[in-house]
Amino acid sequence: MATYSNPVLHGYFRSSCSWRVRIGNFKIPLNLLYSLKLTQEYKTLNPMQQVPAVEIDGITLSQSLAVIQYINETRPGPRLLPADPKKRAQVRMISDLIASGIQPLQNLYVIQKVGAEKMQWSHHFIDRGFQALEPILKQTAGKYCVGDEISMADICLVPQVYNAERFKVDVGQYPTIKRLNQALLEIEAFKVSHPSCQPDTPDDLRA
């Protein structure tokens, strides 16, 4: 029987990248730590000084999709990438669209540089991304983003919809995205990992 180390997640309650990894908690238990990203100690874990960073099995991984795929490949339980290669490619396409094409443009570090126009900036790029994502999901979705099994694509979608709502994007324009998000938020792993109920969530933002 395989034995594993006890993984440690360094994150932040509102970080969508951290939330993706927290959702994966249904496959493995994670000890949650909340790092001050600007400390020298944290820089040794993640030279980019971003969250998350996950210490697992004697290595440190600092990109959420890499963490999710590693967990998928090394832990038992529900698979996060489909067995079928076409569906697996679709999951990766959707995940990358969100994680590379939408989320970085409304990352906290980026919008701080934008300054006073940060709300309009974030709204524009999330809307632009959702305009591309909606027709893709119409083609791939069943109960969830790709067919009827929860996958890495779903893990990416929910935090991005949360960010869209923060930046006043009308998610109702995107009925497939809205339907999938509502279904996923009924699942325990998505509920308990929500930013409103983390140890570092400020009191005024708690559920």
> What CATH number corresponds to the domain at position 120?
1.20.1050.10
* pLDDT computed for residue 38 by the predictor: 63
pLDDT band at 79 (very low <50, low <70, confident <90, very high): very high
pLDDT digits (tens, 9 = 90+) for 16-61: 999 999 997 777 677 777 655 567 788 888 888 888 999 999 999 9
Q: What is the count of structural domains for the chain?
A: 2
Does 2 reside within a domain?
A: no
CB 105 within 8 A of CB 125: yes
* pLDDT computed for residue 108 by the predictor: 80
CB 30 within 8 A of CB 22: yes
Residues 168 and 122 in one domain: yes
Does 91 reside within a domain?
A: yes
CB 181 within 8 A of CB 191: no
Residues 51 and 99 in one domain: no
Does 102 reside within a domain?
A: yes
Does 197 reside within a domain?
A: no
pLDDT digits (tens, 9 = 90+) for 154-196: 999 999 999 999 999 999 999 999 999 999 999 999 999 999 9
Residues 91 and 71 in one domain: no
pLDDT digits (tens, 9 = 90+) for 98-107: 999 999 998 8
* pLDDT computed for residue 34 by the predictor: 67
Residues 46 and 102 in one domain: no
Tokens matching residue 89: 């490619």
Domain span at 59: 8-78
Does 44 reside within a domain?
A: yes
Does 127 reside within a domain?
A: yes
* pLDDT computed for residue 20 by the predictor: 95
Q: For residue 138, how many C-alpha atoms fall within 13 Å in the half-sphere facing its CB? A: 8
* pLDDT computed for residue 1 by the predictor: 44
φ/ψ of 36, rounded to 5, equals -85, 110
Residues 26 and 98 in one domain: no
Residues 96 and 19 in one domain: no
Q: What percent of the chain has pLDDT over 70?
A: 95
Q: Which residues share a beta bridge with 61?
A: 54
Residue 68 has pLDDT above 80, yes or no: yes
Q: State which of 78, 108, 124 marks the end of a domain.
A: 78
pLDDT digits (tens, 9 = 90+) for 117-163: 989 999 999 999 999 999 999 999 999 999 999 999 999 999 999 99
- Residue 54 neighbours by CB distance under 10 Å: 28
Tokens matching residue 59: 């290595």
* pLDDT computed for residue 143 by the predictor: 98
Q: State which of 39, 55, 78 marks the end of a domain.
A: 78
Residues 95 and 33 in one domain: no
Residues 35 and 108 in one domain: no
